[in-house]
Amino acid sequence: MRKLLRVAFALTIASAIVAQDPRPEEGEKKEKEAPRFAPPDPWIKDEPEAEALARLGYVSVGRMTWGDGHDSPRIQEDLGKLPLIFIETAHFKLCSNLPSLEIPKEKEARKRLVEELERLRARLPRLRPKSIRELDPWLRAHLFAQRLEELYAEVAGLFGVTDASFPPASESFYFRGDAPARWAAEWMGRGPYLGNKGKFLVLLFTKQSTCGRYISTFTKAKAEAPSRWYFEQTDSFLFATALDFSEGAFRTDVALHAHVTHNLVHCFVDSFKGYSYVIPVWWKEGLAHWFRRKLTDEHNNFEAIKDQEKRAFTVFDWDERIRMRAEHGLVRPLAAIFDQEQCTDFDLVDHMACWSRVDFLLREFPREKFGIFAGQVKGFVDGRGNPPEHARLLERQREALSAAYGLDPDSLDAQWLAWLKKPRRRQ
């Protein structure tokens, strides 16, 4: 399998080529449990843990395996006496070091948060969403665990897949050529988590320095930025970030939620049907923007952007802006960026256009067509797991667009531009 390395503005995507700190050989003394510095969970206090976890839909809390060569006790040991909360859900492993946070006073933000807490209340009966004044560290962890699973379900639904669409964890094959016929006919990856064998890993820290220490210790990514990382041995994707990054831009609840959403959509697309090659960025970044803007029009996030001035992060009326740019012929054609794997040369208009094209496809065509398109672009490997030559992959993307929508880049743009001219659409 080709090793992949990509560095982008405020973000790193990489492949862990060499596992760090390998696990003890069989027969060696088992590492003792690292001390826990997080307080007990007040929301399930005095309850039998097994019953509480079952109601919450969790697999475990506390000790758990993590990425290549390390587990939760090792993370706790290396990061010191931090109150780290570890939660394992059906599809994620979450480590949270978030502090308490006041409920927002702004009406819409408060309303949205209360609605989320009402959903969480079904699993945390002690919770009283309308009377709560502060999110304590455990409640923030529970809330993000719910958000992660809800986002996963949305993306899986868009791709037209369920857990049963992927090989179960009990399967041990690595290459397509070694897989049973059921999993070799259409390659869906090696494992149950959108095609990966390992669950998605999410680290939410308070301090940038803490996140940087984890990144520099356990990955080869750049420690000065939020990072996505692929652990090759565990076949799992990590996203690690901290509230202090970007001068504290993620300190509000909605800003952090938007930040996590944008990056996890990238992880989901990369993982879908297995992580074997880098795909063209226009629709992957467009989809990440689409899910983030579904949550909030504000708090722009970018895989990469060449104009890093304040304007890129403070312009939110993308629908009207892209309509005006398109009306004056100021948008790069899709054909010009259709084959690009990176968006380091994208400006804000390019990003708005990628989001708007995906928005057009999802609004004007049956949703299942997007899953057909994504499914044909992904999972395109031979019996030994080798991806196609670059030119063939690009040809495959064109074939997928035609198969799903009956379009090519030029005709997609023609229909999209005509759609933009229609009366202003409500977001």
Q: State pLDDT tens for residues 48-57.
A: 999 999 999 9
**Residues in CB range of 171: below 8 A, 6 or more apart:** 179, 180, 183, 190, 191
Instruction: Measure the CA angle with vertex 300, ends 298 and 305; round to 5°.
Output: 155
**Which residue shows structure tokens 């999410």?**
202
Give the mean model confidence (pLDDT) for residues 152-170. Answer: 98
**Which residue shows structure tokens 């030559």?**
389
50, HSE (Cβ side, Cα atoms, 13 Å):
0
pLDDT value of residue 196: 98
SS3 249: coil
In whole numbers, what is the pLDDT of the chain averaged over residues?
91
Asked whether the predicted pLDDT for residue 300 surpasses 50, the reply is yes
Residues 9 and 308 sit within 8 Å (Cβ to Cβ): yes
Q: What distance in Å separates the CA atoms of residue 117 and residue 134, rounded to the nearest whole number?
A: 12
The alpha carbon dihedral of 302, 304, 305, 309 has a sign of positive
Give the mean model confidence (pLDDT) for residues 355-379. Answer: 98
Asked whether the predicted pLDDT for residue 213 surpasses 60, the reply is yes
pLDDT value of residue 65: 97
Asked whether the predicted pLDDT for residue 23 surpasses 60, the reply is no
Q: How confident is the model at residue 11 (pLDDT cuts 50, 70, 90)?
A: very low
Asked whether the predicted pLDDT for residue 30 surpasses 70, the reply is no
Burial 298-333 (b: 16+ CB within 10 A, else e): ebbbbbbbeeeeeebbeeeebbeebbebbeeeebee
Give the mean model confidence (pLDDT) for residues 377-381. Answer: 96
Give the mean model confidence (pLDDT) for residues 262-274. Answer: 99
Lowest mean pLDDT across 46-50, 143-147, 310-314: 310-314
**Residues in CB range of 220: below 8 A, 6 or more apart:** 14, 16, 17
Lateral strand order in the sheet of 200-205: 60-61, 85-88, 92-96, 200-205, 236-242, 227-231
Task: For the chain, give the percent of residues with pLDDT over 90.
Answer: 85
pLDDT value of residue 17: 25
Q: How confident is the model at residue 35 (pLDDT cuts 50, 70, 90)?
A: low
Alpha helices in 38-97 (DSSP H): 49-56, 72-79
Question: Which helix H or strand E contains 212, and what residues bound it?
Answer: helix 208-218
